[in-house]
Structure 1
Amino acid sequence: MSITDHPYPAPEGILIGHLTPGTAAWEEARAGLSITATEIAAVVGLSPWMSRFSLWHKKAGLPTPPFEMNPAVEWGNRLEDVVAQKWEDEHPGLLAAPAGTWRHRARDWQRATPDRLIYESPRNVFEVPEKAVALLEVKTSPFGDEWGPAGSDTIPIHYRCQVMWQMDTLGLHRTHFAVLISGHDYREYTVDYDADEASMLRDAAERFLRTVRDGERPDIDGDTATYQTIRVQPDGLEDRDVEIPFGLVCRWDDAYAALAKASADLTQVRGEVLDLIGNGKRAVCEGRRIAYRTVRDGHTHSLNPYTHREDNAA
């Protein structure tokens, strides 16, 4: 019998079902005027993947860019079971079972799909575990910049929003994180439920859903997700002119002028750095690596900046 077949007692939330991501049933459970745990960070402007503007259009039933699988998402999915098993190995006596999709018992619009529910392991195949004691979130990350020391509760802020929403939805009070960084750095974190944070997120979600019902579209911001959402709104092409405000034209001109100047400044500083490197490989300053040179057929092929992460790793 698989762990998903066990009749595990439910937490306080209501189980909608064990749905496969990307299926019609999964999309239906997340559709309409509801807010999921992966969406709540966008509601409060803290999501790295979507903006309030893009989420608003999704909830209003308007066109949004299609989801595109990328290597980070693919390998995160492939490694989830492996990392979850590592957590179980590190915690004898505890079982991390697939959680399914849930809604809050009183607020139908509050939804969550945690990675795992944590139970005390049954002593035999006939024993049913007691009520879930906590949640487990499994993450993979190429870098550890936003993650604090192992064992702390210092995690990326959008993940904190996510698990606070999950705990509030299911009625649980602790979330454990199993995190694999750079493919080899395994860490664990623990986040406890905070009633004030949860209340703030609920209030923000209710205000956001009210704007959807009232047709109050958020202002356009500088988030890439916002621009990509605007791109998919028009349907077709009409050969006509559209008058736009003079103030917007001024901002357009200023932005492109600033971009051109920044591009020229970057070209100049790259030339100065490359000139000083000469036949060397790296430009450094007081122990900090600034840039490195690649060579092809004896000549400079490229000059690349060291990112903050690469500099720290070195």
Structure 2
Amino acid sequence: MAINKTAIPTLEMSRYEWLKERAKGIGGSDAGIVLGLNKYRTAFELWLEKTGQVDPVEIDNEAIYWGNEMENVVAKEFEKRTGKKVRRSNFMYSHPDHPYIKANVDRLVVGESAVLECKTASAYLAKDWEGDNVPSTYLVQLQHYLGVTGRDKGYLAVLIGGNRFEWKEIERDDELIKMIFDAEINFWEYHVQQGHAPELDGSSAAEKYLKEKYDRAEKDKEIVLSASSKDMLTQYESIKADEKLIKAAKTEIENKIKFELKDAESGLTDSFLVTWKNQSRTSVDSKALREKFPDIYREVLKESNFRKFTVKEFEN
């Protein structure tokens, strides 16, 4: 497999410059989001970021910060466990035909046509790494890197819970790489470059986007909704009914556990810790303030404007 030589040096780049360059395309950590495999971010959120409507999430993300700090530790441990040697690439690679498809690999493996990705994971995610398991979003990220760099093999090394080390060897999969690149090309050229928002989802980012874009309703304006809206609204009412049942079932369990706890602050099973602790908070009694100090109450009143969403089903 030919090695991709399309790259720009990153060694002298500031963090700001690196982030700015990275924002010009789709990186390996974006691949899982584009394919809908990431549990924490959606394609809509990524679209907002890539179109400059929100700041990159990574800037203030503690998990990503510490992941970057531990990268060298994981890389050195990989060398100890495998006897292989790795080195930093200090380049941002680009796909030769689609320069917006980019790759920032953690390490290159000396003497092999291979890359190394270094990860850290919570102990709660240990099962995701058992046996031959690899989290799908990391598998896609690694294949993305192999596709961009032209290398034949990848290694994933992970420190789990701060005290367990695992490493995996993954061969290049050209069929999967094609699927990844097809999705990324569509995402970038249709959604980012042409400005078409991906399908709206249930993320807080989508909610915020709609709230800001359509912050005021035109009084007395009414439209006929699309035919597909009827099916969605029927589903919406069904979900609302299920929510009530789920809430009642959840509350029932809570009440039974609370009754068992009685005046104990916490309780244990072999796999759960339950707490029912005393808490207090201070708040303004608005009713008392209005009655005792009506002038002050009027002075501190603040009007907020928002649009309330309601659904009412017509009776047949």
The verdict on a shared fold, with TM-score over 0.5 as the criterion, is yes
The match for 2:47 among 56, 61, 65 is 56
Contact 1:273 1:283 in 2 (8 A): no
Supply the distance in 1 between the matched residues of 2:22 and 2:197 (Cα, whole angstroms).
20
Match of 1:300 in 2: none
Instruction: Give the drift of 1:108.
Output: 1.6
Match of 2:294 in 1: none
Summarize deviations over 1:38-88 as a string: whole Å, max 9, x none. 1111221112343122223334x2512552523322221221111111112
Change (3 A) 1:170 1:222: same
Match of 1:160 in 2: 139
Question: Counterparts of 1:1-314 in structure 2 under 5 Å?
Answer: 11-18=3-10, 23-32=15-24, 34-59=25-50, 61-64=51-54, 66-67=56-57, 69-92=60-83, 94-120=85-111, 133-143=113-123, 144-149=126-131, 152=132, 154-212=133-191, 213-227=193-207, 229-230=209-210, 233-234=212-213, 241=219, 258-278=242-262, 282=267, 284=269, 289=271, 292-293=274-275
Change (3 A) 1:141 1:103: same
Supply the distance in 2 between the matched residues of 1:47 and 1:13 (Cα, whole angstroms).
29
Change (3 A) 1:283 1:23: closer
Contact 1:50 1:225 in 2 (8 A): no
Supply the distance in 1 between the matched residues of 2:56 and 2:23 (Cα, whole angstroms).
15
Instruction: Give the drift of 1:283.
Output: 6.1
Change (3 A) 1:208 1:69: same
Contact 1:51 1:225 in 2 (8 A): no
* Unmatched tracts of structure 2, length 5 or more: 280-316
Summarize deviations over 1:197-251 as a string: whole Å, max 9, x none. 01111122222234224443322122445445545x539x658557575957777
Supply the distance in 2 between the matched residues of 1:261 and 1:137 (Cα, whole angstroms).
44
Instruction: Give the drift of 1:146.
Output: 1.3
Supply the distance in 1 between the matched residues of 2:4 and 2:190 (Cα, whole angstroms).
29
Supply the distance in 2 between the matched residues of 1:35 and 1:215 (Cα, whole angstroms).
16
Instruction: Tell which structure's C-alpha radius of gyration is larger.
Output: 2
Q: Percent identity?
A: 22
Structure with more helix by fraction: 2
Alignment-mate amino acid for residue 27 of structure 1: L
Count of residues in correspondence between the two structures: 267
* Unmatched tracts of structure 1, length 5 or more: 1-9, 121-131, 298-314
Change (3 A) 1:273 1:203: same
**Secondary structure of residue in 1 paired with 2:197:** coil
Tell which deviates more after alignment, 219-228 or 135-144: 219-228
Contact 1:11 1:172 in 2 (8 A): yes
Change (3 A) 1:73 1:58: closer
Supply the distance in 2 between the matched residues of 1:81 and 1:229 (Cα, whole angstroms).
38
TM-score by length of 1: 0.71
Contact 1:53 1:226 in 2 (8 A): yes
Supply the distance in 1 between the matched residues of 2:48 and 2:235 (Cα, whole angstroms).
25
Q: CA RMSD in A?
A: 3.4
